[in-house]
Structures are given as C-alpha cells and as structure tokens.
Amino acid sequence: MHSKHLAKTTGLTAPQVLLLQAIRNKGEVTIGELANEVSLSQATVTNILDRLEKRGLVYRQRSQTDKRKVHAYLTEEAAETLRDAPIPLQDQFTRQFGDLKDWEQSMIIASLQRVAQMMDAQHIDASPVLDIGVLDRQGTAMDKPASALGYSDIPDSADKDKSS
C-alpha cells in the first residue's frame, strides 16, 4: 500500500527513493558506499542509478583525485521530489514506536520474538534489504531479553542456543 502511494506521489519506487535519500544524506558518495548504505549490491545500485539518471534526478561524475571512483549527486529536481515525498514507512514506524510507553514497546517486542521463535527464525538470514536506520536503542526495553520483561513463557535467545 505504501509503495503504491509512494509511486503515485513521486513516480518512484521505494528503492529509488531510498537511494535518493542516501545520496542527499551522505553528500558526495561513491556507488560502493551507496550500496553499503542501503544494503544492496553494487550492480543493483548501478541499475537503479541508471534509471534515475535517465529521469534527470541524479548525475554521476568521476573523482578528480581517483579516476576509479564514481560519485553520485542529486539534481535540483531530485531534491524537490524528496521534499514532496511522503515520510518513509520505516521513519513513521520508528517515530510512532518511540512514542509508545516502555510496557507497550515490551509487549510488541515480546510478541515479535514469539513469532520469530515459532518460525524458527534464528536460522534465517534476516539482514535488512532496505534498511535506512536502526530501530534498536540501547537502554530501552528493546535490548532486554523477554525474561527480563516478565515474559517467562518466551525463551531468551541465549537459552534457546543452550538447548540446541
């Protein structure tokens, strides 16, 4: 639903917007740095940049100091597009999650831990594909095991590892 709204509002896909945001946030950035920033392969980033360049939203330029490096830059049109783009779903979630009381955050986390356990998710590589930020914040309920939050029926990941 959010992707359709994003496409309708900006004419861009979520990965395209993600790359534009990364370029905006980083300033002068190489293709490799962009790929690392958005957790995509360099080939994928290059393909997306090709499409963005055809639309006049980015341009690429070889480094003056190291001719092997190519930097990506936003055009003014891209900057305007980003200003008009809806807030990314991840940002909206992060903001709203942060506004919850600690006990509400704990309940959500415990439920998600339970779902992950039911799916035997510890054996799945769940690396984010389009991660733009970290939700985990030290010192909040998010970095505590379920048992520390009063959920005795949910095994902590450390306990699960011991029983394997």
Q: Are 23 and 97 in contact (CB under 8 A)?
A: no
Return the pLDDT at 121.
Answer: 65
How far is C-alpha 62 from the geometric centre of its chain's CA atoms? 27
Residue ranges of domains in the chain, CATH in brackets: 2-84 (1.10.10.10), 89-163 (no CATH)
How confident is the model at residue 8, as a pLDDT? 64
Residue 31 in contact with residue 44, Cβ under 8 Å?
no
- Asked if 47 and 6 touch (Cβ cutoff 8 Å), the reply is no
Mean pLDDT, each 10-residue run in order, the chain (164 residues) = 59 87 91 92 95 95 90 93 74 86 94 88 59 47 53 51 48
Dihedral of the alpha carbons of 90, 91, 96, 97, in degrees to the nearest 10:
60
Predicted pLDDT of residue 120: 80
Distance CA(124)–CA(139), nearest Å, equals 26
pLDDT of residue 160: 47
Structure confidence at residue 154 (pLDDT): 52
What SS3 state is found at 93?
helix
Residue 27, pLDDT score = 86
